[in-house]
Amino acid sequence: MLVVVCSVTGAPGVSSTALLLGAVWPRPAVVVEADPSGGVFAARLGLSADEPNLASLAAAARHGLDAATLWAHAQRVGASTALVCAPLAGPRVAGALALAAGPLAELAVSAEVDVVIDAGRWYPGSPAAPLIDAGTVSVVVCRPRPDEVFAVQAAVVAGLGLSGLVVVGDRPHRPAEVAEAAGVPLAGSLFDDSRAARLVATGGVSTRGLQRSMLWRTGTGLATALAAAGDRVLGRGISTEPDPSGGPEGPARAAVPGLAPGATG
C-alpha cells in the first residue's frame, strides 16, 4: 500500500504527520522522505545524513526493488519506526525520485510492504507528483484557515488528485466544514498539540508522554482509517502478521470504518 501525505501551502506539519503515521501504522511500514525541497529528518532526528538514504535506495532501484531492499535503506527512529531519509539538497532529491518513484509505487501496490511517503509541498510538475498520483491513498494536510482551504481548492482545480483531507486542529473552523469548503472528502483530523508535535518532529515517537497524548490517539485513528481505506482499494483485509522481510513488528489493531476511497491518481 502506498500512502502519500502532502501539503499545498504553509507548514501544516506534513513531515510530522508522515512520521506519526509510520509510528502508529497497524502493520510494519516504512516512511520515505520524498520532499523535493530537500530532507530535514536526518538533521532533526540526529540520523546519518549519508547513505543509506533515498539516493542509495534510488541507485538500488535500478536493479529492481523489493521489500528487503527498502528496509535495508531505512534508519530506525525510536523502537519501531523505519525511515528512509532524503538527501539535504533538493536537486539530489529530485534526481533520486526520478529513479525511485516508479519502483516504490510498484512495490507498495504489490502488497509486499506498506509505504508512507512525505511528499512535501505539492506544485505542478513536482518531482514527487508521480508518487501522489500513484498513491493507494493520497491525502493533503492543512490547518482550518481560509488561506489554506483556498489553496487546496486551487490545487484540486490545477490537477492534484486526492483521496482525502487531513485537518490539523479545529479552530477557527471544524474539520468537516473545512473539507466541505475545500471540496475534498475528510480523511480525518489530528489534535493540534504543539508540544506533542515537537516530540514527533524530533524523533520522540517512543516516549510515554507522546503516546498518552491526544495527538497520538488521533494519529492512531487516522492511521487505521487510512489503512482500511487503502485495503478496500486493493481488495484485501488488514493483516497483523509480522513482515517477512524483517521489518519491525507493529501493534495489532482492528480495522475501523474510515475514509471512503475518493479520486486517486
Distance CA 68, CA 216 (A): 28
Domain boundaries, the chain: 2-234
Architecture of the domain made up of 2-234: 3-Layer(aba) Sandwich (3.40)
Whether residue 31 contacts residue 118, with contact meaning beta carbons closer than 8 Å, is answered with yes
Q: Enter the DSSP assignment of 14.
A: H
The Cα–Cα gap between 72 and 52 comes to 8
pLDDT tens digits for range 124-156 = 999 999 999 999 999 999 999 999 999 999 999
- What does the pLDDT look like over 48-106, one tens digit per residue? 888 899 999 999 999 889 999 999 999 999 877 999 999 999 899 999 999 999 999 88
Cell of 250: 507493529
The grid cell for 255 is 480495522
Q: Which helix (H) or strand (E) holds 41?
A: helix 41-45
- Assess whether pLDDT exceeds 60 at residue 244: no
CA dist 21 and 60 (Å) reads 26
Dig out the grid coordinates for 23 from the structure.
Answer: 509510528
Instruction: Report the C-alpha gap between 227 and 234 in whole angstroms.
Output: 10
Spatial separation of the C-alpha atoms in residues 255 and 227, rounded to whole Å: 8
How many residues appear in the chain? 265
Global pTM? Answer: 0.87
| Cis peptide preceding 172, ω within 30 of 0 | yes
Model confidence band, residue 209 (pLDDT cutoffs 50, 70, 90): confident
Residue with cell 517512543: 206
Instruction: Read off the pLDDT band of 237 (50, 70, 90).
Output: low
